[in-house]
Amino acid sequence: MHNMKSFKNSLPCVGVLLVIISVLLCAGLTLANICDLGFNVQATESGSSSDDGSGDDSKEDNEEESSEEEDKADMDAIRASISEKQNQIKEAENEKKKVQSDLTNVKKIVSSLKDAKQDLEYYVTQLDGNLSDVQDKITQLNGLIVEKEKDIEQSEKDLAEAERIQKDQYESMKKRIRFMYEKGNGFYLDLIFGSSTFGEMLNKADYIEQMSAYEKKKLDEFKDTCLYLDSCRQGLESDKELLEAAKAQVEAEEDNLQQLISAKEQEISNTSADISNKEAAIAEYEADIAARNAIIAALEQAIAEENRKLEESGGTARKYDGGMFQWPAPSYTRISDDYGYRIHPTLGITKFHNGVDMAAPGGSPILAAYEGEVVAADYNSSMGNYIMINHGDGLYTIYMHASALYVSKGQTVSKGDKIGAVGTTGRSTGNHLHFGVRKDGVYVSPWNYLSK
């Protein structure tokens, strides 16, 4: 600046030159620059009356274009995301419909069960199958909820991104609109009187047209962004609705489960208590116990046969080392029915109870009392879900009425392994573990191996 001043002082015509230089400099500042710089360039721009509009703006245009390309890529990604989101919504709605139709089926089964309740064995088997279906469904629904929560998290990220784009677009539009407004009529006057030739004016007019097209394009993009925001919000709300619906379904399923359990327990005790012929009731009870014993004895026989073959071929069968048992139901609250001769609660006669009943919450763990091999992990309408473990030397433990089995036949377990969950499947009224111990083909007192 100091050099310029001294130069200006020495040559009087330099002032005129400076005006020309500033005009040339301003000509370099195109409308596109002004658009992007907004108000900051207003003072400079108004100081100049000349802008041929076809100046050296290619560099700035390239920057504008590359940022436009980025915008376009953003918008393409957004549009792809919109259609993906719409597909997700559709899928989720189908899932919801499926869950609802399944729920209706549960109701149907309950009503058909009421008709079939005369056949207790059939009734119990159907109901237990139903209970495990409902539990599976609850597990599925919980998985659905976890997925929905992930979707919502993603939607919120998408929404934040769209809001950022919208804000950017809004800011640059504000600048452009403000510039056009400030320029007002002067803009057009400049177009006509500021052009020295007709060709220059046409160039400027062409530029204005291009700029209008650019504004329109920006407006369209702004609209698209708004559409996307709307779609994000809708998706998010729909996802949340689905999540809530799924939660409501889980709760409804749980209610159904509870209803089924209490209905079954009511039916079992009604059937036992309401049989007017006590002899028939006793006969039914004994037939039930005999059926259990037949299954267990058959299993023991098969093992004895295997052991015999094993020893014949030089092998050694499993041996019991005489150790004490692990308490199999650590969550138990009380012994609801002890081993030995007891007065049967509904039959009112003295009957032999071949195990210890441990009342524990449904779903609480059942542990292997001792190391051994699982010889049965199965379902039966009387024992419900049951497990039988061979500990060697003719010693077995039996666990009945489980809600879930975590082991399968042939598996080796260690003392204290979690093998199942307490339940009330089979002929059972209320959650409990029936724990039986057999030695050499007969039931023995679990207290020989357990300490309280």
- Where does this chain bind Zn ion (CB under 5 A)? 357, 434
Residue number closest to Zn ion, CB atom: 434
Three-class SS state of 346: coil
What minimum distance in Å lies between the beta carbon of 434 and Zn ion? 3
Six-digit token pair at 60?
């700035």
**Burial grade of 426 (CB within 10 A; 0-12, 13-18, 19 or more):** buried
Residue 443 contacts residue 364 (beta carbons within 8 Å): no
The amino acid at 3: N
Q: For Zn ion, which is the closer residue by CB, 236 or 376?
A: 376
Q: For Zn ion, which is the closer residue by CB, 137 or 438?
A: 438
Q: For Zn ion, which is the closer residue by CB, 213 or 294?
A: 294
CA nearest to 400, candidates 307, 306, 311, 288 = 288
Q: For Zn ion, which is the closer residue by CB, 325 or 339?
A: 339
Residue 134 contacts residue 57 (beta carbons within 8 Å): no
What minimum distance in Å lies between the beta carbon of 320 and Zn ion? 24
Six-digit token pair at 299?
């299993």
Six-digit token pair at 223?
């609209």
The amino acid at 49: S
198-228 burial by CB neighbour count: b if 16+ within 10 A, else e?
eebbeebeebeeebeeeeeebeebbebbeeb
Q: For Zn ion, which is the closer residue by CB, 264 or 434?
A: 434
Q: For Zn ion, which is the closer residue by CB, 176 or 351?
A: 351
Cα dihedral: 407, 409, 413, 419 (round 10): 30
Residue 242 contacts residue 93 (beta carbons within 8 Å): yes
Residue 365 contacts residue 386 (beta carbons within 8 Å): no
The amino acid at 227: L
Three-class SS state of 18: helix
Residue ranges in 194-277 assigned as alpha helix (H)? 198-274
What minimum distance in Å lies between the beta carbon of 120 and Zn ion? 17
What minimum distance in Å lies between the beta carbon of 433 and Zn ion? 9
Q: For Zn ion, which is the closer residue by CB, 204 or 434?
A: 434
Residue 391 contacts residue 370 (beta carbons within 8 Å): yes
What minimum distance in Å lies between the beta carbon of 372 and Zn ion? 21
What minimum distance in Å lies between the beta carbon of 424 and Zn ion? 12
What minimum distance in Å lies between the beta carbon of 353 and Zn ion? 6
What minimum distance in Å lies between the beta carbon of 351 and Zn ion? 11
Q: For Zn ion, which is the closer residue by CB, 31 or 422?
A: 422
Strand pairing class (372-380; 412-413): antiparallel
Residue 23 contacts residue 51 (beta carbons within 8 Å): no
